[in-house]
Amino acid sequence: MFYTSMDILLVAFLTMLAILIHELGHAISAYRYGARRVSIGIGWYFIFPVAYADLSESWGFSVRQRMLSTIAGVFYQAVFGSLIFIGFLVTENMCFYSASIAILISILWNLNPFLRLDGYWLIVDLLDNPNLRKEGITSAKRLFKTPVSAEIKKTSIIVLVYGVISLLLLTFLLVKLSLEIYQTQGFGIYEIIKHVATSDNLGIADWVLYFGTSLWKGLALIFLSWQAYLYVQKKFIKQRTSH
């Protein structure tokens, strides 16, 4: 099936709406358990814009209440995604099907425990260790200098294994993202010019899609370059001050 630009924007709208419902699910659950200062906003995670719900007051909840508040977002998002899929079954509109798949992928991504998403906070709640990621990655980095047996004596095996997997996954994602960006010719500008030159009917949706893609890739390149600069600067300053 061929998707028009408006179809793609509809899928994107339904997916974004599901994310909003996800965050509202967190807020509603936290409010139910007694939180009164719950906010929802938009921020950045690496180079990705993300929605978030501030559940700081949930640290006063029991472990069970914190876990339920954490999983509530995925629950409400799954309910909404199921309704979208039912809409596809009734209307056979492939936009609904694509949106339901996108929502499912979003849910699975959120349950990834090795990024600071819902899956991570579930483990944090379960282990009652709010510094799990920091301790794990720090412990994993120390493996370059100390034997595994010595590191296990300093920290728990769960934290160490978590840190190693998190560090490997983070490295993989950064390398993969860097390769995809640098292998894209002109960050999408070439594709835009070619499409504009050959298209007789270029709508607003087309401009949004093409320039949105180019803007994201440009921001991604800036972010990766900045992170590389900070890393080199940190290493240089550390070496210079050690002499």
Please give the pLDDT value at position 75.
Answer: 95
Instruction: Among 54, 84, 114, identify where a domain stops.
Output: 114
Does 63 lie in the same domain as 143?
no
Instruction: Among 114, 149, 171, identify where a domain stops.
Output: 114
In this prediction, residues 78-99 reach a mean pLDDT of 93
Residue 175 or residue 212, greater confidence: 175
CB 223 within 8 A of CB 44: no
Residue 34 or residue 191, greater confidence: 34
Q: What is the pLDDT of residues 115-164, one digit of tens each?
A: 888 999 999 988 888 888 888 888 887 877 777 666 666 677 888 888 88
CB 25 within 8 A of CB 70: no
Tell me, what amino acid is at 225?
S
Residue 243 has pLDDT above 60, yes or no: no
Does 153 lie in the same domain as 102?
no
SS3 state of residue 129: coil
Residue 19 lies inside a defined structural domain of this protein: yes
Please give the pLDDT value at position 34.
Answer: 87
Q: What is the pLDDT of residues 44-82, one digit of tens each?
A: 776 667 888 888 888 888 889 999 999 999 999 999 999
The total domain count for the chain is 3
CA distance 102 to 16: 10
Please give the pLDDT value at position 24.
Answer: 93
Please give the pLDDT value at position 83.
Answer: 96
Residue 139 structure tokens: 């412990």
Residue 16 has pLDDT above 60, yes or no: yes
CA distance 32 to 49: 28
Does 16 lie in the same domain as 103?
yes
Please give the pLDDT value at position 114.
Answer: 86
pTM: 0.70
Q: What is the pLDDT of residues 177-231, one digit of tens each?
A: 666 655 554 444 445 555 555 555 555 555 566 666 666 666 666 666 666 666 6
Within 10 angstroms of residue 98's Cβ, the number of other Cβ atoms is 21
Instruction: Among 163, 182, 201, identify where a domain stops.
Output: 182
CA distances from 143 to 55, 138, 147, 152, 164 (A): 34, 9, 6, 10, 9
CB 118 within 8 A of CB 73: yes
Which of 66, 75, 37 lies closest to 128 in space, CA to CA?
Answer: 66
Residue 120 lies inside a defined structural domain of this protein: no
Residue 126 lies inside a defined structural domain of this protein: no
Does 229 lie in the same domain as 177?
no
Residue 121 lies inside a defined structural domain of this protein: no
Residue 29 or residue 3, greater confidence: 29
Cα 236–chain centre separation: 31
Domain that holds residue 173: 131-182
Does 166 lie in the same domain as 216?
no
CB 65 within 8 A of CB 36: no
Please give the pLDDT value at position 82.
Answer: 96
SS3 state of residue 44: strand
In this prediction, residues 13-22 reach a mean pLDDT of 93
Beta strands (DSSP E) in the chain are 39-45, 48-54
